[in-house]
Each structure stands twice: as structure tokens, then as C-alpha cells.
Amino acid sequence: MSFLKILPDKNKNKIVVWLCCICYFWGISSSMMFSLLPIYIIEELGVSSESFGFLVGLTTSFTLAARICTGFLMDILKKRKLMLYVGTTLALVSKLLLACFSNINIVFLSKFIDRFAKGFRRASIDVILADFTKKKGGSAFSFRYVMNLAGYVTGSILTSTILTAYGNNFRFIFMSAVIPAMISLYTLERKINYEEETKISEEKIKWKIKDISLLPNEYWKFMIVVALLIFNRFDEGFITLRAREVLPGEIWKFPLLMSGYEISAAAIALLVGRIVDKIDKRQILIYGMLILFSADIFGMFANNFATILPIYILAGIHMGATQWVLLLIIARLAPKNIFGTAFAIFYAIEALAALCSNCLAGGLSSKLALLLGLQASTGPFIQGAVVSFIITIYLVRSLKKRSLA
């Protein structure tokens, strides 16, 4: 079918399609596990929102730290499938832990293992796609992103169905999440053959730390943009907590709200993926920030389902239009023989920005909201609206005369 013809090279296209299918099953499993985890941790286990914010920031940074290591290892070892095996196996272990234990320490450990696994998986696929799509790769990156989101939508629908049929049975949902994790590991073993991968994986060029100096100035300037953009985001869990305050007693709606997030992100990613190689990527980033600003405004004043839903949709559009584009820009700016290094540095900057953003969202911004007489859950959105406005101005001015890849 034509929509599965992503790359002209038959072998590379086959690998990309199967990798995207694996991403689909990863998405199902993660959605079933984590769409309700913020509520489970706070309401069932009694963790405060400040502690949850720190946990989110720390585990997100842990994910990115794993990506950093994997990125460098890609250039040193050139072992793509090994990294995918490690990440996929650890993801399965994390689901099993959460399904079998309800101790708060085990739950935290499970989340850390899953984030670590995600770091290995994502970094491996990012570098593979960069290898395959140095010149024309918009559709490959967007298709991977869309398949992952399709998995999240499927997982959200399954979770909502289980909640409706069996009530708030968290343990049964977590046990069900193990199944797609097992399918992804099976697919990786049977369908991904890296003997067909690329000559780059067979090259014996020894990586050196001084190779970092080969990254061009444009790459480092773009890293400033990345840091500002990531700092303006906070984890989707804070949107869930905001929805929980506005919609008490309607927990079954939350997976459907997350489906709205994923569907909007997938739709815009497909659209932008068709035209990304033909337009200035600067425009995508600027419009993405304006959309995120709109989501923050809704988050500040939401008081019913009709005003909560646009938060999820707008946040989804922002992520679908910008997140994978960042990876594509890096693939265009970095030399091909050090893609792993380029992504590793990107992950490091992303980790630090994410940690700062989520810690601020969980603590300082919530206290600011209370001082202003607003609900605590509006704090992250106040933070986001202010920072979005500032970053949009910066992007317009700093990128005014520069086209991004």
C-alpha cells in the first residue's frame, strides 16, 4: 500500500515500517500504564502534587539521560538492535512490576525502569531514522510519531472500556498493559533484521570525544531554541490533575481526553509530514508556540468538560507539529557519522530543561496560583502562558533571518 512506502529503498522502508509497528505496541502498553498513573499515585498511594512534580521531572530526565548514553553508544558500538532489545525488555519488566506490586517504592522503581527503557528505545530509533533520511526524511519521522500516537489512542480506548466495565480496577489495567509489551518484543525478534540495515552500522570508524567539535555552529544555535522550547512544556500528568479538579467523579472520561490529545497530535503530524520538506521549519516552531500559549490560556480558566477538552487538543497539536520536527532538524544539521553524538547532546539539553520545567510546574507555579486566589492546578498553565509568550518573541526575532534546515 502506498502509505507504507515511506522510503524509496525497499530494505530500509521495511525496517522503518516494522519499527513503527513496534512503536504502536509500545504506545498501547504505555498508555494503559501511565494514563491513570498520576491519579493512582496521588489518590491511591497518597503522594503530594509537589512530590509528584519532582518525580515526573526526575523520571523524565532519567529517560533523557538513558538516551544520552544510548546516543553516544550508537556512534561507539554501532549496535542498533542491541539497544532496542535492552529498551524493549526493560519496558516489559516495568509493566510486570507495576502489575504485581502496589508498594510506593516499587511503583516508583517501575516508572524509573520504564523511563530508562524508553530512553534506550527512542534513541535507537531516532538514530536509525536519521541514518536513513539525511536528505528527505520528514515522512519517516512523522510516520513513526503517528504510529506511536495511534498506539496511545488504542491504549486509551482500551483503558476507558475496562474502567467502564470493571470500575476503577487499576491492577487489572496494569496487568493488561503487559500483553502489548510482549508483542513488541516478539516483533523486534522476528521482523527486524539489521544485516539489511545500512553500511554505517558496519563501518569501523573509531569514535573520539573530539568528534563533538565537528558539529556546526548552526547546530549549537538551534540547541538554544530547543532548551527554551522544552522548558516551556510540562508533563501531560499536570493536565490530568487539572482535569481531575474540574471534573471530579468522572474518571472514566480521562482516557478519552488523552485520546483527543493523541488524535490531534497524529492528525497534525501527518499533515506537517507531507509538507515539512517543502517549507521553512522556523514557521512550524513559531506556530507551535502560539498554539501552546492558547492551551495554557484554556488551562488557566477551564471550569467544565467543554473547556478542558481544548487543552488536550491544543497541546496535542503543539506536540504533533513540533516534537518530531526537532529531531528532523538535528538530522539535517549534524554530520552523518556522528548522529548519535548530536542526538545525545540534544537529549542532555532536553533533560535539563524538562527537569526545571516540571519541578517549577509542581512547586513554585502551584504556590503562585494559590497566592492569586486560583486553584493550585492552574499554576503550571500560568507558568506556561508567560514563558510561551516570551519564547515566541525570541523565536521570531532570533530566527528572523535564518531558515532551519
**Do residues 377 and 80 make contact, with C-beta atoms less than 8 angstroms apart?**
no
Q: Locate 314 and state its grid cell.
A: 491544543
Please give the pLDDT value at position 24: 93
Q: Show me where the domains of the chain are located.
A: 10-193+212-398
Q: Locate 355 and state its grid cell.
A: 527537569
CA 182, distance to chain mean position in Å, is: 21
**Do residues 236 and 354 make contact, with C-beta atoms less than 8 angstroms apart?**
no
Task: Assign a CATH topology to domain 10-193+212-398.
Answer: Growth Hormone; Chain: A; (1.20.1250)
Task: Report helix angle 236-246 to 49-77, nearest 10.
Answer: 160
Q: Locate 307 and state its grid cell.
A: 473547556
Residue 104 has pLDDT above 80, yes or no: no
Residue 199 has pLDDT above 60, yes or no: no
Q: Locate 391 and state its grid cell.
A: 519564547
The pTM score is: 0.76
Q: What percent of the chain has pLDDT over 70?
A: 86
**Do residues 170 and 43 make contact, with C-beta atoms less than 8 angstroms apart?**
no
Mean pLDDT, rounded, for 113-124 = 82
Residue 305 pLDDT level (bands cut at 50, 70, 90): confident
